Structure 1
Amino acid sequence: MRALILALSILAIIDSAHFAMAGLSSTPRETLIPADTAIATDEATQKTEEQIGLTKTKRREVQRRLTRLGFDTKINGKFDESTRAVIARWQEKNGYPTTGFLNATQHKVLTDTSANAGKSGHQHRRRAGGRARYSRGVGGPIGAIGGAVHGVGRAVGGLFRR
C-alpha cells in the first residue's frame, strides 16, 4: 500500500512539473468592453442607482451614512434635490464624477467608509473616559477580582495558621 501511495505521489509531481514548464500563454485573449459607458467610466446614473435596489429604508441609511461623514442631509428616505446635492459633494470629495446618483461601487465605498468612521468614533469615546464609568475599583474589574481573591486568601490563610 505504501508503495502505491509513493508511486502515485511521484506521478503527481512529474505531471505538475509539465504544467510548470508550460509558462505563460502568448495567445491574445478577447477583451470584453462593457456595453454601458456609465459602467466603464464608473459614472453613476439614475439607472445604476435603480440597479442597487434602494428601498426607502436603505435610502435613509445612505442619508445617515452621509451625515455621519459630515455631509448633513435630511433623513427622510427621499432623494430630493438637497440629498442629490449632498451625494454630489460626497462624490466630488472622493474623486467620482459628480452626478448626484450612486452606483454599486460608490454605495459600497460609502457604506464601508461610514462604518469605519462610526467605529473610530466609538473608540474615541471609549478613550475619552467611557471606560472609567464601568470601572469597579482600582485597576478596573480585573483589579477588583484580584483584590477580592487576595482578601479571601488572607482570610482562609488566617484559619489555618498555627
Structure 2
Amino acid sequence: MRALILALSILAIVDSTYVANAGMSSTPRETSAPADPVIATNEATQETEDQIGLTRTKRREVQRGLTRLGFDTKVNGKFDEKTRAVITRWQQENGYPTTGFLNTAQHKVLADAATEAGKSDHQARRHAGGRARSSRGGGGPIGAIGGAMHSVVGGLFRR
C-alpha cells in the first residue's frame, strides 16, 4: 500500500511539472519580418487606414490583438497617441515603415498573428487548467500530492 502511495505521489509530482511550465511567459514572442518586400515598403498612412474601414469595434480588435502580442494598449476603440505609439513599435519589430498607421496588408498580418497568439495562450491556459483541476487543493507539487492522496484514500473508503 505504501509503495502504491509513493508511486502515485511521484507520478503526481512529475505530472505537475506541466503546470509549472504553463505559466505566463516573460520572454517576447518571436516575430517575423513581412514575407513580401513590397508590403514592407508600402507605407501606411491615414488614407490607407481609412480604406480598411476600421469601425470602433474593429479598432478594439486591433488593440486587443496588439495586447495579445505583447504590445499593451488601452482597449477603447480610439487610436489615440498611445495606440499610435504601440502600432509604431509593432511595425518596427515586424520590419514595416514606422508610421503609426495601418494599411490592409499590415492589418491582416496583425490580425492573423493575434489570432495565433490567442490560440496558443488558450491552449496553455486549458492545459494548465486541466492539470490544476485534477489536484484537489493547492497548486504545484504539494497540491498534486494531496490530490493523489485524496484519490487513493477516498477510493479505499468508498469500497
C-alpha spacing 1:40/1:69, structure 2 compared with 1 (3 Å): closer
Cα distance in 2 between the residues matched to 1:86 and 1:106 = 14
Counterpart mapping for 1:1-150 below 5 A: 41-130=41-130, 133=133
Unaligned runs of 5+ in 2: 1-37, 135-159
Deviation string, structure 1 residues 98-129 (Cα, Å, up to 9, x no partner) = 00000000000000000000100111122224
What amino acid is the match of 2:93?
A: K
Deviation string, structure 1 residues 65-113 (Cα, Å, up to 9, x no partner) = 1011111111111101110000000000000000000000000000000
Q: How many residues align?
A: 98
Cα distance in 1 between the residues matched to 2:68 and 2:76 = 15
With the length of structure 1 as denominator, give the TM-score of the two structures.
Answer: 0.56
C-alpha spacing 1:39/1:47, structure 2 compared with 1 (3 Å): farther
C-alpha spacing 1:40/1:118, structure 2 compared with 1 (3 Å): closer
What amino acid is the match of 2:105?
A: T
Q: Share of identical aligned residues, percent?
A: 77
Shift, 1:40, TM fit: 8.8
Shift, 1:132, TM fit: 6.2
Shift, 1:39, TM fit: 7.4
- Assess if the C-alpha contact under 8 Å between 2:39 and 2:105 holds in 1: no
Unaligned runs of 5+ in 1: 1-37, 135-162
Cα distance in 2 between the residues matched to 1:133 and 1:40 = 46
CA RMSD in angstroms comes to: 2.2
Shift, 1:41, TM fit: 2.7
Shift, 1:131, TM fit: 5.5
Cα distance in 2 between the residues matched to 1:90 and 1:84 = 10
C-alpha spacing 1:124/1:40, structure 2 compared with 1 (3 Å): closer
Deviation string, structure 1 residues 38-62 (Cα, Å, up to 9, x no partner) = 9793210110000000011111110
